[in-house]
Amino acid sequence: MDDDDAVRRWEHRGQLPLITASLLYLAAYTLTVLDQDASPAWRLAWSMTMFVTWALFAADYLVRLALSRRRWTFVRGHWLDVIVLVLPALRPLALVRYLYRRRRRRRSPLLSLEGQVMAYSGLTALLLGFVGALSVYRAERGAREATIENFGDALWWVCVTLSTTGYGDVAPVTFHGRLVGVLLMSVGVGLIGAVVGVFSSWLVQSFRRREEDDAGGGGGGP
Amino acid sequence: MDDDDAVRRWEHRGQLPLITASLLYLAAYTLTVLDQDASPAWRLAWSMTMFVTWALFAADYLVRLALSRRRWTFVRGHWLDVIVLVLPALRPLALVRYLYRRRRRRRSPLLSLEGQVMAYSGLTALLLGFVGALSVYRAERGAREATIENFGDALWWVCVTLSTTGYGDVAPVTFHGRLVGVLLMSVGVGLIGAVVGVFSSWLVQSFRRREEDDAGGGGGGP
Amino acid sequence: MDDDDAVRRWEHRGQLPLITASLLYLAAYTLTVLDQDASPAWRLAWSMTMFVTWALFAADYLVRLALSRRRWTFVRGHWLDVIVLVLPALRPLALVRYLYRRRRRRRSPLLSLEGQVMAYSGLTALLLGFVGALSVYRAERGAREATIENFGDALWWVCVTLSTTGYGDVAPVTFHGRLVGVLLMSVGVGLIGAVVGVFSSWLVQSFRRREEDDAGGGGGGP
Amino acid sequence: MDDDDAVRRWEHRGQLPLITASLLYLAAYTLTVLDQDASPAWRLAWSMTMFVTWALFAADYLVRLALSRRRWTFVRGHWLDVIVLVLPALRPLALVRYLYRRRRRRRSPLLSLEGQVMAYSGLTALLLGFVGALSVYRAERGAREATIENFGDALWWVCVTLSTTGYGDVAPVTFHGRLVGVLLMSVGVGLIGAVVGVFSSWLVQSFRRREEDDAGGGGGGP
């Protein structure tokens, strides 16, 4: 175990506020991108929400770092937190992490190991895709010769990208849009590949188990 | 075993009617989509067929649920049946399931474990692709700037999508067509990935077995 | 072992003629497709070559079937031969098979098991790609709005298809061209996936072996 | 171990000069491609740098071959060096190799086996992608109907190709550009596939380890 007792206590108490902050950030970011016609007051409120929740995450990281006795081990074991601080749009990923940890605490093994990996990777890919669609839509909006013209196009582009199909009917043309695309590809392709790989081995095991069940059980058929 | 004796007896008796119902539904759906010039009477007949077969599947699920002693285990173990009830176009997938079960009953191990997984996944992907082509053709027909102009285009699009090649020469432009695309990608990519993964490991095993055969057998060559 | 002595003797004697026939067929098919301006006499010669070599393969299959004591086992174990008879353009695949068998006879384990799978799958994919490029070029030549305008385009399309990249700058538009595409995707994607999967596990094993070598050997560095 | 003591001593001494030569070659090649407006004197300097560093690598290979006692084993074990000599643009790959060897010498197991494979494959893919972008940009510059119009487009094309997404908004149209594409696909797809495959199995192991940690450790939760 690389976490100390103080860190664990802090993390346990901070769970609920941080999940709330994650959801608030996601909501504020979504509204900032999608509700272009909002009044300046609303837009300011969303910006403030984003800043405050960002500060909360930064403070949480620093406190945990300060509480930790083995600093270097902590930094290496929590690199995802740093990425999430640098690229605020990826913050909702922390939500998956906290949800996952919370579920583990409760010791309710609802899913097999393969199921856990698929659920975790799939949920991360889903959140990443939603944030990617928001970011690419923000970057492409108003660009000349843009093919991503509305949020529906952006969502369709994300699905086409994560599955590596890539029709090319919609594709980013701006620098920022393409940067989002590169990030989405590098992380998303790995996650989807992991889901597919684990699904493949789960399927084989599932068939093997059924075969053994069949061989073992006294069949009820005529 | 999560199935009780009563459920098993019911399933055994219901097999043939349900396979027939699956095929009838598939035929009615195919005709509804492809034969646009049919008389209203025929179209009504197909709609009725689709409704009645749907009701049959729903009744079968409810009876099995009622007969089952462990309800929750039954629901968790038969989630595919629920999906098939909610998305009627996916119903033919149940056909693969029933065919598979029937084959298992007969205890004829015609295929190795890898062969079974490949056959099952491949057949599911094939059926899914056919239904996907029908659905996307129905959604895109008559849409402005549609690139999927006939059923042949739709079949080509399905092949290009399932293999994740994605040329983009044909691609859905309507909301419903893209929804079909997203479903096809998420399920199909996993299934095809599973087929490829299992094929890869089967190939390695096949080569290993041959090598051992060669080492063991006294070769007939000069 | 599913082959009898008589079959083995026949196969051993027939090897060289059949390799020659394979190469002749491939050469004749290549010339038929690429050399459009040849005189009718030459074109007839190539057609005759293709027919005679086809007849040779058919005769070889029938003789082996007749010699075999377990017919059904033979048919099931040699399904590739049947496919190759039905789809003459795939015949060169038999070449890979015979080359592979010949190498095995000589018992020269030049390659590891992973290397063999990669070489076999890769060579098959290469031959398949070449034949696919010829076939798609023949199908698309002269089609309206064709994007595959010369044999170079066809080769580029094959590479883009087998790697599942699918830019869509060139794509078949005719029925026969798309049929070639579907065949290429279904077989090629599996073969390439197998190569990648085996390469992946070979890489991990290669790194593990090096690590063990390092740990075991007394290092020469300062 | 296939290396002798003399080879090892040579390799140890040659490390630093060869890393420097690799970096110099990469810098000179980058400048040659990207700085089109440089004076002839500079362009000559870069050409000279490329030639001298190439000669250095050739000399290094020959000396090592001469020192090696088992020539054939050496040639087979260092085929990457030969490829790098024939295709100078791939030379920076040797950089990854040397960096990797240097790290191994130091015996600092900073990364797990899976981490090593991912880092090595990922870094190779990154370098390959950068060189590929340079080469494709050089080939496409000035071509009629080229869609890759600047180096940014070339980098975007490389990302789209390596992830096998392949939108087709940018794609090479010249013979040399497509040759770069085929090389990038054949090597890159394998490397990225290896990264994804190893990531997938690493993820499963990571989840398993956490589960065992949880089961073993006395939880701090209430």
Question: Mind listing the pLDDT tens digit for each residue in D28-66?
Answer: 999 999 988 889 999 999 999 999 988 888 888 888 888
Instruction: Give the DSSP letter of residue C87.
Output: S
Residue A178 CB neighbour total at 10 angstroms:
22
Q: A171 near D167, Cβ under 8 Å? A: yes
Percent of chain B at pLDDT > 90 equals: 28
Partner-chain contact C167 A168, CB within 8 Å: yes
Q: Which residues of chain C make contact with A166, given a CB cutoff of 8 A? A: 165-166
| Mean pLDDT of the region C191-205 | 83
- Per DSSP, chain C holds a count of helices (H) and strands (E) of 8, 0
Q: A21 near A56, Cβ under 8 Å? A: yes
Identify the CATH number of the domain defined by range D109-216.
1.10.287.70
Which residue's structure tokens are 């290429």?
C184
Q: What distance in Å separates residue B165's CA from the closest CA in chain D?
A: 8
Q: How would residue B200 be classed by pLDDT, with cut points 50, 70 and 90?
A: confident
Closest C-alpha among C170, C147, C149 to residue C158: C170
Per DSSP, helices labelled H in A35-162 are: 40-67, 71-77, 79-86, 92-105, 113-140, 151-162
D82 CB within 8 Å of a chain A CB: no
The pLDDT value recorded for residue C219 is 37
Q: Which of residues 141 through 160 in chain C touch A, CB cutoff 8 A?
A: none
The CATH number for C109-217, chosen from 1.10.287.70, 3.40.50.1860, 3.30.565.10, 3.50.50.60, is 1.10.287.70
Percent of chain A at pLDDT > 70 equals: 83
Q: Which residues of chain A make contact with D200, given a CB cutoff of 8 A? A: 193-194, 197-198
Crossing angle of helices B113-140 and B151-162, in 10° steps, is 140
The pLDDT value recorded for residue D173 is 94
pLDDT at D94 over 70: no
Name the more confident of D218 and B191.
Answer: B191
Find the residue in D nearest to A145 (Cα). Answer: D169
Whole-angstrom distance, CA of residue B27 vs CA of residue C134: 37
Per residue in D113-140, is it b (16+ CB within 10 Å) or e — as a string? ebebbbbbbbbbbebbbbbbbbbbbbbb
B209 CB within 8 Å of a chain C CB: no
pLDDT at C106 over 60: no
Residue D60 CB neighbour total at 10 angstroms:
19
pLDDT at D103 over 70: no
The structural domains of chain D, with segments of one domain joined by +, span: 1-90, 109-216
Find the residue in C nearest to D197 (Cα). Answer: C200
D166 CB within 8 Å of a chain A CB: yes
Q: What distance in Å separates residue A205's CA from the closest CA in chain C?
A: 19
C108 CB within 8 Å of a chain B CB: no
B193 CB within 8 Å of a chain D CB: no
| Mean pLDDT of the region D86-91 | 69
Whole-angstrom distance, CA of residue C204 vs CA of residue D160: 26
pLDDT at B177 over 70: yes
Name the more confident of A177 and B10.
Answer: A177
Instruction: Give the DSSP letter of residue C162.
Output: H
The pLDDT value recorded for residue A105 is 55
Q: How would residue A220 be classed by pLDDT, with cut points 50, 70 and 90?
A: very low
Residue C159 CB neighbour total at 10 angstroms:
18
Q: How would residue B94 be classed by pLDDT, with cut points 50, 70 and 90?
A: low
Q: What distance in Å separates residue B61's CA from the closest CA in chain D?
A: 35
Burial class (CB in 10 A: 0-12, 13-18, 19+), C74: buried
All residues at 6 or more sequence positions from B55 whose CB lies less than 8 Å from its CB, including other chains: none
Q: Which residues of chain B make contact with D167, given a CB cutoff of 8 A? A: 168
The pLDDT value recorded for residue C215 is 60
Closest C-alpha among B33, B40, B22 to residue B177: B33
Q: How would residue D216 be classed by pLDDT, with cut points 50, 70 and 90?
A: low
Q: How would residue B154 be classed by pLDDT, with cut points 50, 70 and 90?
A: very high
Q: What distance in Å separates residue B203's CA from the closest CA in chain D?
A: 17
The pLDDT value recorded for residue B150 is 92
Coil, helix or strand at residue B155:
helix
Coil, helix or strand at residue D71:
helix
Instruction: Find which of B7-21, B122-136, B204-218 is predicted with most confidence, using mean pLDDT.
Output: B122-136
Q: Which residues of chain D make contact with B164, given a CB cutoff of 8 A? A: 164
pLDDT at B115 over 60: yes
Interface A-C: count of C-beta contacts within 8 A: 7
Residue in B121, B165, B169 to test binding to C, most C beta-carbons within 10 Å: B165
Choose the closest CB to D160 out of A9, A121, A166.
A166
Q: Which residues of chain B make contact with D165, given a CB cutoff of 8 A? A: 166
Identify the CATH number of the domain defined by range A109-214.
1.10.287.70
D35 CB within 8 Å of a chain A CB: no
SS3 content of chain C, % helix, strand, coil (to 5): 75, 0, 25
Enter the tokens of residue C39.
Answer: 């005189």
The pLDDT value recorded for residue C134 is 93
Q: How would residue C181 be classed by pLDDT, with cut points 50, 70 and 90?
A: very high
Burial class (CB in 10 A: 0-12, 13-18, 19+), C212: exposed
pLDDT in tens, C36-70: 888 999 999 999 999 998 888 888 888 888 888 88
| Mean pLDDT of the region A82-94 | 71
* Backbone torsion region of residue A147, taken as left when φ is above 0, otherwise alpha when ψ lies between -120 and 50, otherwise beta: alpha
Q: What distance in Å separates residue D156's CA from the closest CA in chain C?
A: 13
Q: C183 near C132, Cβ under 8 Å? A: yes
Residue in C15, C158, C186, C192 to test binding to B, most B beta-carbons within 10 Å: C186
The pLDDT value recorded for residue A222 is 30
Q: How would residue B138 be classed by pLDDT, with cut points 50, 70 and 90?
A: very high
pLDDT at B219 over 50: no
A190 CB within 8 Å of a chain D CB: yes
Enter the tokens of residue B151.
Answer: 């059923």
* Backbone torsion region of residue D221, taken as left when φ is above 0, otherwise alpha when ψ lies between -120 and 50, otherwise beta: beta
Residue positions counted in chain C: 222
